[in-house]
Amino acid sequence: MSPSPSPRLSRSYLQTVCAHSGCDVNASHSRDVVAPIHLATTYERSAPNPLQHPPTSMDPTIAPRGTDGGVCGYPGGYCYSRLANPTRNALERVLTDLDDGLASQAYASGMAAASAILSALAPGDHVIFGVDLYAGVKGVRGMLCDARNVKWDAANAASKEDIVRKIQPSTKLVWVESVGNPMCSVADVRGIRDAIQTLGMASPPLIVVDATWASQFVSRPLLHGADIVLHSLTKYIAGHSDCLGGALIRTRTSTPALDKMWTMACNACTIAGSALDPFTCYMVMRGIRSLWCRIKVQCANAMEVATWLSKHPRVSCVRYPGLSNDPGHVTLLQNGVSDSQDDDPDALFGGMLSFEVEGGAEAALRCLEACKLCVRATSLGGTETLLEHRRSVEAFAGHSDTPEGLVRMSVGLESVQDIINDLDQALNSI
Ligand SMILES: *Cc1c(COP(=O)(O)O)cnc(C)c1O
């Protein structure tokens, strides 16, 4: 698809890609304007050739994706739906385009995508994780790192110095969130890439960026030097709090370490079997059609809510990278849609923010209880505003450094005045 004359990577290019998500009339005989859902699990094979045997030398852990130990002879290009499916491929093409990558792989959830990468590490490998990290990733880190003797350190993703200080010869991955959960810290992906390059390592660690909070319109990890970007499709991309999915997108630049990691991560989908089902692929493509419009309104609403909250007497701290005094403000501009845009008037900073209520956990919980419009629920990126007291949610994992009074907010598409009025009456009722 080459949808528009707009320059690639500009917001207008992405806007047009979104509007045509899954729309490839040449891909179907009936010239469907909307991608059909291909439910077949299996596809007809051409007449068998008895002399065709799978090559015995192929290492199953790094066999090319889409193959199954050398199965071939499928004239339609598809063999079995777990390996590849036309609806999933249509979604993967859109995701590749939106992040300007080389290829993408869609998984049954964001966590399946995260697991695909971490399970490719070997005992003795070392990983650096950003401190601000999705609780689910911390959980799977216990399963796939701690339990398998994969070592890790935590570092401040906003500080390339802190990251580089913790790199060891065995460091295989640096894993950061472009906008971090729940403190809204902003990773300096570009700075981390440059700092790693100056180390001159023969096999430098790969940079994996979880861009779920930001979406493709707010941070551009591959453009700024990441090797792999991860999205939970469940959040902004599908956008309606009604389906689970995840994706990995890889950069065009090729290194032996990246190619090996990519193949193994894809095999976790196609061979180990965590592929996203065709109906959900369709739902996600449908969501992407309005992604630009949703993100634009959510970012504008979040900016207004953050500005309003920062003046409220019951609020001690607001974290939102759109505020010009936020520590991540300039970094996010530098890691955004185009290369140099420190004064970009159209820059977007996302729909996620967090704020601290004066009076700690008890006051924060009372505030949430008093909300009538904003919904108390986990997750993010839907059309409805969601609020969550993170400390109570993270309690299940034992230790939490999240401030007691912190409320995480996914700003929705409601009238911003309605959102503010609801917060105002709730804060004033404490
Ligand atoms: C939700 C989320 C995930 C996990 O995605 P699921 O689709 O819920 O498995 C990973 N990273 C971040 C930042 C998330 O918000």
Residue 98 lies in a domain: yes
Same domain as 177, residue 31: yes
Residue 121 lies in a domain: yes
Same domain as 315, residue 208: no
Residue 360 lies in a domain: yes
Residue 234 CA: nearest ligand 1 atom is 7
Pocket test residue of 232, 248, 390, 409 for ligand 1, highest count of atoms within 8 A of CB: 232
The domain in which residue 300 lies consists of 290-428
Residue 72 lies in a domain: yes
Burial annotation 51-87 (CB, 10 A radius, 16+ → b, else e)? eeeeeeeeeeeebebebeeeeeebeeebbebbbbbbb
Between CA 302 and CA 279 the distance in angstroms is 31
Give the pairing type, strands 228-232 and 206-210: parallel
Residue 407 lies in a domain: yes
The answer to whether the CB of 348 falls within 8 A of the CB of 358 is no
Same domain as 206, residue 84: yes
What pLDDT is stored for residue 49 in this prediction? 57
**Nearest CA residue ID for atom 15, ligand 1:** 212
SS3 (DSSP) at 356 = strand
Between CA 410 and CA 381 the distance in angstroms is 6
Same domain as 52, residue 91: yes
212 alpha carbon – ligand 1 mean position (Å): 7
**Nearest CA residue ID for atom 6, ligand 1:** 110
SS3 (DSSP) at 315 = strand
SS3 (DSSP) at 219 = coil
What stretches of 198-348 adopt beta strand conformation (E)?
206-210, 228-232, 246-250, 315-319
Give Dmax (Cα) for the chain: 78
What stretches of 14-121 adopt beta strand conformation (E)?
103-107
Check which CATH number belongs to the domain holding 342 and give it. Answer: 3.90.1150.10
Residue 418 lies in a domain: yes
pTM: 0.93
Residues at CB less than 6 angstroms from ligand 1: 109-111, 134, 136, 177, 181, 210, 212-213, 232, 234-235, 244, 246
Identify the domain boundary among 245, 265, 285.
285
Average pLDDT for consecutive 10-residue bins of the chain (430 residues)?
56 92 86 93 75 49 44 75 93 96 97 98 98 93 96 98 98 98 96 97 97 96 97 98 98 96 95 96 98 98 98 98 96 80 82 97 97 97 97 77 95 98 97
Q: Where does residue 200 rank: exposed (0-12), middle (13-18), buried (19+ CB within 10 A)?
A: exposed
Residue 2 lies in a domain: no
Same domain as 335, residue 245: no
The answer to whether the CB of 122 falls within 8 A of the CB of 315 is no
What pLDDT is stored for residue 72 in this prediction? 59
Same domain as 223, residue 201: yes
42 alpha carbon – ligand 1 mean position (Å): 30
Residue 181 CA: nearest ligand 1 atom is 13
Check which CATH number belongs to the domain holding 230 and give it. Answer: 3.40.640.10
Same domain as 240, residue 340: no
User: Which strand (E) or helix (H) includes residue 408?
Assistant: strand 406-410
Between CA 135 and CA 383 the distance in angstroms is 23
Same domain as 356, residue 256: no
**Nearest CA residue ID for atom 11, ligand 1:** 134
The answer to whether the CB of 157 falls within 8 A of the CB of 132 is yes
Query: What six digits make up the tokens of 133?
Result: 């990290």
Identify the domain boundary among 256, 285, 314.
285
* Contacts (Cβ under 8 Å, ≥6 apart) of 37: 87, 278, 279, 281, 282
Identify the domain boundary among 285, 300, 320.
285
135 alpha carbon – ligand 1 mean position (Å): 9
Same domain as 301, residue 233: no
Between CA 233 and CA 110 the distance in angstroms is 7
The answer to whether the CB of 278 falls within 8 A of the CB of 39 is yes
Between CA 179 and CA 408 the distance in angstroms is 13
Please report the DSSP string for 150-194 in residue order. Answer: -EEEEE-TT-HHHHHHT--TTEEEEEEESB-TTT--B--HHHHHH
Sign, CA dihedral 192-112-235-33, equals positive
Same domain as 332, residue 313: yes
Same domain as 127, residue 230: yes
Same domain as 131, residue 182: yes
Residue 112 CA: nearest ligand 1 atom is 9
Q: Where does residue 122 rank: exposed (0-12), middle (13-18), buried (19+ CB within 10 A)?
A: exposed
- The structural domain count of the chain equals 2
The answer to whether the CB of 43 falls within 8 A of the CB of 79 is yes
Helices (H), 159-290: 160-165, 189-198, 256-270, 278-289
